Amino acid sequence: MNSETKTSLGLLDIRRVMAALPHRYPMLLVDRVEELVVDERISAIKAVTINEGFFQGHFPGRPIMPGVLIVEALAQAAGILAVESLGLAGSGKLVYFMAIDEAKFRVPVEPGVLLRLDVSFVQKRASVCKFEGKAYVGDKLAAQANFTAMIADPPSA
């Protein structure tokens, strides 16, 4: 039997997501967390709807979610994973992008789908974490990226 016991937080609803992230509409890109295993991984959902503001211009007649927003959704899922794993919920700490590597986009993400965001820690330290993220539409890999984030205090006003 494994001597390490992983803590699974299970389902996190939108209230818990908003408690972990400072993002709000229109930049909040995680609607719920299906599973979060502390210090390990997260599986979250973004419901992609035609009501998203970016679909008006990207692209008229052929709405596709911009790749940079898919990567941002992955990063937000990673932020929730980091905040929950490092015990920073309610601390006011922010998770900032430092690097995005090896981003690849495989299939277009269109309105009406549930985008599954699977993110795992690659490396975890107190102030810098590395992640591997994959976004799926059904069983199809839509996008993937490796990224690094820094945990820091928010800028002073």
List active site positions.
58
Separation between Cα atoms, residue 119 and residue 42, nearest integer Å: 5
CB contact set of 147 (below 8 Å; sequence gap of 6+): 71, 74, 75, 78, 97, 98, 99, 100, 101, 130, 131, 133
Separation between Cα atoms, residue 86 and residue 124, nearest integer Å: 9
Instruction: Outline where DSSP puts E strands in the chain.
Output: 32-37, 41-48, 94-105, 113-124, 128-137, 140-152
